[in-house]
Amino acid sequence: MSAPASPKLRWITAALLLIAAALAIALPFVSSTLLTIALGGVAIAAGVSQLLRLTSAEGRRGKVFRGLSALLYLVGGISLLAFPIESTLSLTLFLGFLLAIEGVMELAAAAAGGGPARWLVLADGIVTAVLGGLLITEWPLSGTWAIGTMFGIGLGFSAVNLLTAPALTPAGTTEA
């Protein structure tokens, strides 16, 4: 992550990220629901985009697949907006399975690979698989807080990373 060269801008940005992180962690249900609603809006925008690109598709099959893609995005986005709480629960379960599978893949990569960072890949795989497993086993209770809490933690790490990353100067080199 590159950081702004201005120390004042770095601190302001990091402070805003930390405030957002604290709010997301303090109000996980609200942040989870808002993230689900935002995802619904993005899906609808993608569906409209696919519809606008429908005329540029080559051939009948291309138009059919582009139309089906647009329909899928639109229905999914509208569903997310119409049922944000139920959608948050579903997204949490999906995230749990995604993390569990990713963790297993990281463990396989650590077993198959070598190198000096092998222990980092192994640790990443263990943590990711356990986190995914926890989301799955605690579902649906985890669905009300997990996405918002994880988002808040991610924002917090971004703030710390921003403050510790070297600043880029206008020439693209890092400051000492």
Question: How do residues 102-135 score in pLDDT, each as one tens digit?
Answer: 889 888 888 887 777 778 878 888 888 988 898 8
**Confidence (pLDDT) at 170:** 56
Q: Which residue did the predictor score with more confidence, 25 or 55? A: 25
Write down the residue that tokens 């206008």 correspond to: 170
CA torsion through residues 23, 27, 29, 30, sign: negative
Between CA 127 and CA 132, with CA 130 as vertex, the angle to 5 degrees is 105
Between CA 70 and CA 75, with CA 74 as vertex, the angle to 5 degrees is 120
**Confidence (pLDDT) at 167:** 62
> Where in the chain are the domains?
7-164
CA torsion through residues 161, 123, 24, 84, sign: positive
**Confidence (pLDDT) at 48:** 94
Per-chain mean pLDDT for the chain: 85
- The answer, as to whether pTM is greater than 0.75, is no
Q: Is the pLDDT of residue 166 over 80?
A: no
**Confidence (pLDDT) at 115:** 73
Share of the chain above pLDDT 90, in %: 27
**Confidence (pLDDT) at 73:** 94
Q: What would the pLDDT profile of 127-159 be if each residue is shown by its tens digit?
A: 889 888 988 998 888 888 888 888 888 888 888
Nearest CA to 3 among 171, 176, 164, 152?
164
Residue 140 in contact with residue 89, Cβ under 8 Å?
yes
